[in-house]
């Protein structure tokens, strides 16, 4: 296949995608709920969590650009991750919790299928039972893909990186891959 043929085909796909974009105003608030599976390196059991994202879609059709606020909580099975404890220490019998509140932006393309990149940062903490093992800066970044079921409802999924970087001399940086389905409601 020649390069010129590939360029023409790619250009035609872009024009077709932009031509199917809704021309309705997008300047409106939205809420997205995400059920996430968390996969932490060097652990045997994945964690589970949920995040609620609130945002404002700016009227920049066909672009989806908007500020976001996300609040999430995640749990790992008993005694598997030992998040935030010094090397050699364990809290067997106690589950690990991660809580975070982040702000940031998402950038994407509007249409029947909406693809967006997101990035957020803010405070976060990890705990083992009632013991806070680390606190610091939480970061979420990744890709979401949503199908617009109606003007007010989207359904899709997301995959990304989630991190907690401990501050103040604490141990316990956490790095995870998060993946899961999402449901959005636009007001």
On the question of pLDDT at 66 being above 60, the answer is: yes
The residue extents of the domains of the chain are 23-186
Q: What is the mean pLDDT of the chain?
A: 79
Helix (H, G, I), strand (E, B) or coil at 11: helix
Mean pLDDT of the region 137-163:
93
Half-sphere exposure of 46 (CA within 13 A, CB side): 10
In terms of Cβ atoms closer than 10 Å to its own Cβ (0-12, 13-18, 19+), residue 176 is: buried
Question: What gap in Å lies between CA 163 and CA 181, rounded to an integer?
Answer: 20
Mean pLDDT of the region 136-147:
94
Smallest CA-to-CA distance from 177 within 70, 44, 39 is with: 39
Smallest CA-to-CA distance from 185 within 34, 10, 60, 16 is with: 34
**Distance of CA 139 to CAs 48, 63, 134, 157, Å?**
17, 24, 15, 19
Residue 90: per-residue pLDDT: 55
Question: ∠ at Cα 4 (9, 13), nearest 5°?
Answer: 15
CATH of 23-186 given 2.60.120.330, 3.30.2000.10, 2.40.160.20, 2.60.120.620: 2.40.160.20
Question: What gap in Å lies between CA 174 and CA 163, rounded to an integer?
Answer: 5
Reported as a single tens digit per residue, the pLDDT across 7-58 is 655 554 454 444 444 545 457 899 999 999 888 776 667 888 999 999 998 8
**Greater confidence, 49 or 78?**
49
Q: What is the pTM of this model?
A: 0.76
């Amino acid at each position: 296949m020649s390069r010129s043929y590939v360029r023409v085909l790619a250009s035609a796909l872009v024009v077709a995608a932009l031509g199917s974009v809704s021309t309705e105003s997008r300047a409106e608030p939205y809420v997205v709920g995400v059920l996430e599976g968390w996969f932490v390196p060097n652990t045997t059991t994945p964690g589970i969590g949920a995040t609620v994202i609130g945002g404002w879609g700016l009227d920049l059709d066909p672009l989806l650009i908007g500020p976001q606020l996300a609040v999430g909580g995640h749990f790992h099975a008993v005694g598997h991750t030992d998040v935030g404890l010094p090397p050699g220490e364990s809290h067997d019998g106690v589950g690990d919790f991660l809580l975070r509140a982040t702000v940031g932006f998402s950038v994407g393309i509007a249409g029947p299928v909406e693809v967006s990149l997101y990035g957020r940062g803010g405070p976060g903490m990890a705990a083992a039972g009632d013991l806070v093992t680390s606190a610091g800066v939480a970061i979420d970044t990744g890709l979401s893909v949503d199908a617009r079921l109606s003007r007010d409802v989207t359904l899709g999924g997301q995959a990304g990186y989630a991190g907690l970087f401990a501050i103040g001399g604490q141990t316990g940086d956490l790095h995870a891959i998060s993946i899961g389905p999402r449901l959005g409601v636009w007001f």
